[in-house]
């Protein structure tokens, strides 16, 4: 699991895309990071890419982001269900 707060400190981090909220402050899309050593994006529930200089920090903080990753997964599943034809 990736901790996007750690990603922001890395020289490979190219851009942080914050979560998008709707008018009722519900998340429409999850936060993600553009990483120079991973394609295309890293999210809370992503594996840390090989060669990451902060890999150990991601592993140590993994327990702290478990809830965020579960929330992201639920969000993605909900968004995919909305895209399916009725």
Cα dihedral sign, 52-1-47-32? negative
| Average pLDDT along the chain, 86 residues, taken 10 residues at a time | 87 92 87 89 88 88 70 77 65
Contact 75, 21 (CB under 8 A): no
What's this model's pTM, rounded to 2 decimal places? 0.61
């Amino acid at each position: 699991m990736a901790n996007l707060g750690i990603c922001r400190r890395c020289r490979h981090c190219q851009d942080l895309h914050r979560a998008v909220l709707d008018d009722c402050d519900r998340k429409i899309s999850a936060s993600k990071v553009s990483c120079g050593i991973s394609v295309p994006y890293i999210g809370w529930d992503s594996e840390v890419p090989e060669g990451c200089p902060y890999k150990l920090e991601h592993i140590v903080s993994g327990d702290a982001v478990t809830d965020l990753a579960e929330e992201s997964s639920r969000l993605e599943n909900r968004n995919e269900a909305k895209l399916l034809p009725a």
